[in-house]
Amino acid sequence: MNLFHDSIALAVLAPAKVNWYLELLGKRDDGFHQIETFMSTVSLYDTLSFTLRDDDRLALTVKYEHAEEVGSVPDGPSNLVLKAAEAVRAVCPSNVAQRGVDIVLHKRIPSAAGLGGASSDAAATIKGLNVLWKAALDMRQMHDIAAELGSDVPFFLTGGTAFCEGRGELISPINAPSSHWLVIGKPPTGLSTPHVFSRVSLADSPPVSRLQETSAEFGLRLVDGRVTATGRLLFNRLQRFALPMNEEVAEVRKEFQLLQEMGRCSGHQLSGSGSSYFGLFRSKRLATNSAVRLRGRMPGFRFYCCHTTGAVDTSCGATAV
Ligand code: C5P
């Protein structure tokens, strides 16, 4: 998983995710929603590199793949990467953690897209600094730091496919052997997660027993890797609240619906709180050809052709020396 590692520098990949199934069970006393979701990491990555400094400063530089994204994430202390670094340092017994780090974050995952980019960057930072600073944090300690930073951050410590409950921070990994091909469409404008959640009304939610049946069925389909059945079951409770908030999502949805009617796409829906919208495909060829068509028909939107990825260990593939 790491690209490069020696005693003073390390690079880590931070994948995006999609939600196959996302149900809201209710609103909690802490203001969050109780959720059930199946998620998978996908082959669209940010990259983070960490290099020890001679002083104690934590310095973040953000570089962008796409000019229109420039400035879309903060490069100051409110960035989740710097918060993660401070949180690891606070529990790190090693003297090495007193050394500062130059962090370069190369952003490819679009922001405000429901793809978990900021959460994945935070998880990559926890894993990367755990190795670089020889912090020797175990999975439980990393999970606790991750859950403090955001609901999706713990999932990204190992990624792969998982069933996530609670706020999203309670993770049950799923052994999903096959990798699925996707096209993710990103409209020119994004959607803010708190804003979408603030529009949620759960008055007409189905009873919990039906939800449990659906999510159990979904887990089985992911395990047996059947794309058509998975496509039929795709569900995201947030979609109906997000769609009226951004008409570009409705436009891209229409295009994926056309592809489904042409027999090319096996299912499509919003990822997380949007604004990204993805389609599931039976083969790489169908996904690649569909992405070409979508790019031609929707200028200004970005389309990423990618596949789901497996879980990784938390050592970044590196051994501290
Ligand atoms: O945990 P995270 O910082 O990613 O959450 C961002 C916002 O999304 C929260 O402030 C909350 O408004 C909403 N949220 C929620 N229920 C969840 C996860 C997120 O209401 N389970």
**pLDDT per residue over 263-294, tens digit each?**
999 999 999 999 999 999 999 999 999 999 99
CA distances from 53 to 33, 89, 101, 102, 183 (A): 41, 14, 5, 6, 40
Q: Whose alpha carbon is nearest atom 19 of ligand 1? A: 32
Model confidence band, residue 314 (pLDDT cutoffs 50, 70, 90): confident
Q: Is the pTM of this model over 0.75?
A: yes
Q: How far apart are CA 220 and CA 72, in angstroms?
A: 38
Q: So which residues are the catalytic ones?
A: 17, 152
Q: Rounded CA gap, 241 and 190, in Å?
A: 14
Using most ligand atoms within 8 A of CB, pick from 22, 27, 33 the residue to mutate for ligand 1.
33
Q: 293 CA distance to ligand 1 centroid (A)?
A: 34
In our burial notation (b when 16+ CB lie closer than 10 A, e otherwise), range 2-24 reads beebeeeebbbbbbbbbbbbbbb
- Measure the N-to-C terminal CA separation of the chain; round to a whole number of Å: 17
Mean residue pLDDT across the chain: 91
Residue nearest to atom 13 of ligand 1 (CA): 194
- Ligand 1 pocket check: which of 83, 167, 171, 236 to mutate, most ligand atoms within 8 Å of Cβ? 167
Peptide bond into 275 cis (omega under 30): yes
Q: Which atom of ligand 1 is nearest to the CA of 35?
A: 21
What domains sit in the chain, N to C, each tagged with a CATH number?
Answer: 2-174 (3.30.230.10), 181-307 (3.30.70.890)
C-alpha–C-alpha distance, residues 64 and 164, integer Å? 30
Tell whether the model's pLDDT for residue 1 goes beyond 60.
no
Q: Check if the beta carbon of residue 100 is closer than 8 Å to that of residue 86.
A: no
Pocket lined around ligand 1, Cβ cut-off 6 Å: 32-33, 35, 150-152, 167-168, 193-194, 197
Q: For the stretch 251-278, what's the b/e string if a residue is b when 16 or more beta carbons lie within 10 angstroms of its beta carbon?
A: ebbebbeebbeeebbbbbbbbbbbbbbb
Element (H, E) at 274: none
